[in-house]
């Protein structure tokens, strides 16, 4: 039994002698080097077992000796088998993770990741992704793609497609002065089709995560806007492929022209899947109508935990749809909502604060980085912390919180003893305010796990009196700031 197959490679590398030590006076003349396991590679001839293994490695597609030879010989073969073995031979027979790691490092060197536990699944997922990303949709063979998906299906739990090729569009005819052309964009719908994903997805029964980008990478001077469009036919094929996926947890479409009608069609198909935990539509073109559909999805679905909709095109009505779903105590156990890079007005901030004041349990994380909050809108977003007790993490970086918003933030954090993390980078706050925020957050960290009186959460003055109605944030009053209560008039 050869030592390198018993001692892990990382262990040998960690305890290897450093070059400085090898060149020292006490080590440079040493003749016996027991830590060098390859000392005899160029001195003694290779054993017959090694030569036999080298011959077997060349004809693996005809002879499979793995089930009849000793384990020590199997270990040798795993280092000799070439990475070019066709998948139809290697996938069902080779189970050694070291072989699949070597294949992944040789064929996909740019996709190295840390802490990979299942190299076979990672390599096969990369092979399927490479096939689908570079497939020509004009000559796409659905049977071949289906066979490949069926072969790798037991080992794939994640599918990431960073690009999809576009069908070749017919060349427009030469202009004719005697022909009246129709330039209306709505008279003849344009068709932008990619490869059909249905024959592939229906076979990936273990799939838990899907990430799609409808576009082409590395165009440079060949850029055309139509390369980043996709049609309803693409979404229909995608939705048909999603019907039988019973373990799907994460669904992403990023950096694509995903508009309201397409996202509505996707949500209508995903709402039936109770396994969905995360929806990610960052950097798309979802408007108000699509956001209302997403709000209805949040209100109905029973397992959704994370929603990411950064950098889209919705405005007040879209925020109102999400706010209404949150304040109506939705069935979904929402944990995170990401609204970053969406410019929001004062009215949006008002509806946002109204929803988070009424929804005191979820979500636990709110991300509104670079949303253009300043002045009164910033005061509202900072002041909701004094009324909401569910938030544990609040990211409001790249907004203007200077001025009155700083005072509102300090007053809110003084009352809120549950918030644990606040991201205040590039918010133009003073050093004194930042130091006070850090002090209050440290106080909250120290209170973790301790029993507290109810009065620590809600001041008793407003528990059973009409002034407590102020706590129920009025979304129709943009001049009201949470935490600033009217002067209490004593009863006569």
For residues 373 and 399, the answer to whether their CB atoms sit within 8 Å is: yes
Tokens 């001025």 identify what position? 403
Among 299, 347, 308, which residue's Cα sits nearest to residue 327? 299
- State pTM to two decimals: 0.81
Strands 421-423 and 250-253, sheet pairing:
unpaired
CATH of 354-492, one of 3.30.1360, 1.20.1740, 1.10.357, 3.80.10: 3.80.10
What is residue 28's predicted lDDT score, i.e. its pLDDT?
76
Tokens 């070749």 identify what position? 168
What is residue 63's predicted lDDT score, i.e. its pLDDT?
84
What is residue 409's predicted lDDT score, i.e. its pLDDT?
92
What is residue 198's predicted lDDT score, i.e. its pLDDT?
93
Q: Please report the sign of the dihedral spanned by the C-alpha atoms of residue 342, residue 330, residue 277, residue 115.
A: positive
Tokens 């005191």 identify what position? 360
What is residue 242's predicted lDDT score, i.e. its pLDDT?
94
Residues 6+ apart with CB under 8 A from 411: 383, 386, 483
What tokens does 390 get? 């569910």
- Residue 393's DSSP bridge partners are 365, 421
Write out the DSSP string of 23-40: TSHHHHT----TT-TTTT
What is residue 465's predicted lDDT score, i.e. its pLDDT?
38
The pLDDT profile of the chain, 492 residues, written as one tens digit per residue, is 445 555 666 777 787 778 888 788 777 777 777 777 676 667 777 778 878 888 888 888 788 888 888 888 888 888 888 888 999 999 998 988 889 998 998 999 887 777 788 999 999 999 999 999 999 988 888 999 999 999 999 999 999 999 999 887 655 555 666 655 555 544 445 565 899 999 999 999 999 999 999 999 988 888 888 888 888 999 999 999 999 899 999 999 999 999 999 999 999 999 989 999 999 999 999 999 999 999 999 999 999 999 999 999 999 899 989 988 988 888 889 999 999 999 998 888 888 888 887 777 788 999 999 999 999 899 889 888 877 878 999 999 999 999 899 999 998 898 888 899 999 999 999 999 999 999 999 999 998 877 665 444 444 433 333 333 334 445 555 565 555 555 555 544
For residues 297 and 270, the answer to whether their CB atoms sit within 8 Å is: yes
Helices 71-80 & 97-107 angle (0-180, nearest 10): 10
Helices 431-446 & 404-415 angle (0-180, nearest 10): 10
Strands 365-367 and 336-338, sheet pairing:
parallel
Q: Where are the domains of the chain?
A: 3-80, 354-492
């Amino acid at each position: 039994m050869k030592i390198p197959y018993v001692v892990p490679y990382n262990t040998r590398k960690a305890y290897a002698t450093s070059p400085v030590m090898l060149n020292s006076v006490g080590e440079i003349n040493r003749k016996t080097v027991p830590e060098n396991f390859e000392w005899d590679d160029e001195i003694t001839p290779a054993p017959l077992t090694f030569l036999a293994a080298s011959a077997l490695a060349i004809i693996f597609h005809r002879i499979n000796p793995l089930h009849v030879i000793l384990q020590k010989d199997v270990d040798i073969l795993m280092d000799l088998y070439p990475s070019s073995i066709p998948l139809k031979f290697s996938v069902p027979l080779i189970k050694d993770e070291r072989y699949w790691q070597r294949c992944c490092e040789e064929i996909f060197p740019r996709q190295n990741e840390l802490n990979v536990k299942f190299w076979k699944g990672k390599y096969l997922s990369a092979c399927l992704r490479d096939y689908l990303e570079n497939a020509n949709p004009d000559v796409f063979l659905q049977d071949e793609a289906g066979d490949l998906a069926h072969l790798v299906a037991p080992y794939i739990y994640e599918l990431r497609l960073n690009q999809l090729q576009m069908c070749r569009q017919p060349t427009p005819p030469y202009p004719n002065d005697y022909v009246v052309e129709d330039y209306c964009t709505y008279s003849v719908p344009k068709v932008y089709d990619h490869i059909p994903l249905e024959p592939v997805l229906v076979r990936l029964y273990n799939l838990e995560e899907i990430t799609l980008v409808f576009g082409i990478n590395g165009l440079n001077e060949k850029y055309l806007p139509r390369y980043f469009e996709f049609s309803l036919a693409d979404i229909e094929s995608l939705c048909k492929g999603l019907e039988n996926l019973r373990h799907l947890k994460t669904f992403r479409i990023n950096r694509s022209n995903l508009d309201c009608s397409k996202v509505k069609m996707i949500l209508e198909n995903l709402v039936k899947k109770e396994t969905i935990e995360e929806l990610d539509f960052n950097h798309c073109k979802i408007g108000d109508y699509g956001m209302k559909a997403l709000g209805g999805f949040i209100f109905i679905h029973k397992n959704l935990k994370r929603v990411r909709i950064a950098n889209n095109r919705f405005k007040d009505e879209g925020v109102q749809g999400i706010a209404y779903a949150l304040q109506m105590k939705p069935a979904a156990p929402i944990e995170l909502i990401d609204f970053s890079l969406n410019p929001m007005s004062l009215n949006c901030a008002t509806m946002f604060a109204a929803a988070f004041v009424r929804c005191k349990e979820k979500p636990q994380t709110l991300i509104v980085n670079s949303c253009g909050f300043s002045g009164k809108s910033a005061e509202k977003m900072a002041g909701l912390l004094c009324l909401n007790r569910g938030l544990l993490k609040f990211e409001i970086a790249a907004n203007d919180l200077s001025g009155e918003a700083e005072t509102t933030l300090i007053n809110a954090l003084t009352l809120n003893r549950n918030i644990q993390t606040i991201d205040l980078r590039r918010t133009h706050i003073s050093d004194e305010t930042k130091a006070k925020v850090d002090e209050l957050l440290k106080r909250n960290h120290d209170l973790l796990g301790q029993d507290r009186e109810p009065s620590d959460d809600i001041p008793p003055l407003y528990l059973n009196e009409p002034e407590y109605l102020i706590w129920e944030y009025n979304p129709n009053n943009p001049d009201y700031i949470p935490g600033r209560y009217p002067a209490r008039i004593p009863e006569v």
